[in-house]
């Protein structure tokens, strides 16, 4: 199974790299110390502190592996690398539901910063996938839980690194 690349803003990439460094250095040291102290309690077969510390270690190693994998697959999106006339990570997109006329504005973000409650959607979400790479004036059909919806793209605005803080409002 081939692994897909992961599109990230440079800020997302830096945050992920910093998290990995923290987990690898500081958290690993803290968990190793907990394991060392728990071993001092004696019999490991009935040592709840040791079991908890080992479970924490397994979770930590899983988090480290996940971040390493994401960084390995990461492609950092920069304005000079993309066609700013097309929907991409870092764009604020205004769309209109063609049947109701209702407008929406979304910020397209990487998978790590998706927050649908703030209208920040991943390029891998159903709406994000439908919009990705499209231009103003194009219509896209999206299968949503309530059925098929057709949206027309009314505006694309590059917000770039500000996409990490942008809070798009429903129109």
Q: Which residues pair with residue 157 across a beta bridge? A: 92
pTM of the model: 0.73
Q: What residues contact 102, with CB distance under 8 A and at least 6 apart?
A: 96, 171
Could you tell me the domains of the chain?
6-77 (1.10.287.180), 83-164 (3.10.50.30)
The DSSP element (H or E) to which 69 belongs, if any, is helix 48-73
Q: ∠ CA 139-142-146 to the nearest 5 degrees?
A: 130
pLDDT tens for the chain, residues 1 to 171: 347 888 887 888 999 999 999 999 999 999 999 999 888 877 767 788 888 999 999 999 999 999 999 999 998 887 787 788 999 998 999 999 999 999 999 999 988 889 999 999 999 999 999 999 999 999 999 999 989 999 999 999 988 765 555 444 433
């Amino acid at each position: 199974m081939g692994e897909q690349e992961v599109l990230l803003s440079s800020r997302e990439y830096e945050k992920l790299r910093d998290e990995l460094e923290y987990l690898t250095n500081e958290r690993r040291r803290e968990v190793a110390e907990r394991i060392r102290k728990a071993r001092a309690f004696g019999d490991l077969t009935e040592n709840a502190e040791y079991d908890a510390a080992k479970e924490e270690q397994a979770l930590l190693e899983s988090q480290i592996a996940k971040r390493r994998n994401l960084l390995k697959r990461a492609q950092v999106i920069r304005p000079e690398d993309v066609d700013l006339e097309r929907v991409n990570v870092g764009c604020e997109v205004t769309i209109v539901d063609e049947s109701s006329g209702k407008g929406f504005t979304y910020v397209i973000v990487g998978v790590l910063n998706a927050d649908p409650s703030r209208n920040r959607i991943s390029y891998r979400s159903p709406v994000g996938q439908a919009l990705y790479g499209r231009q103003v004036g194009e219509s896209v059909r999206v299968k949503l839980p309530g059925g098929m919806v057709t949206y027309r793209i009314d505006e694309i605005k590059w917000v770039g690194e500000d996409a990490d803080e942008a809070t798009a409002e429903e129109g």
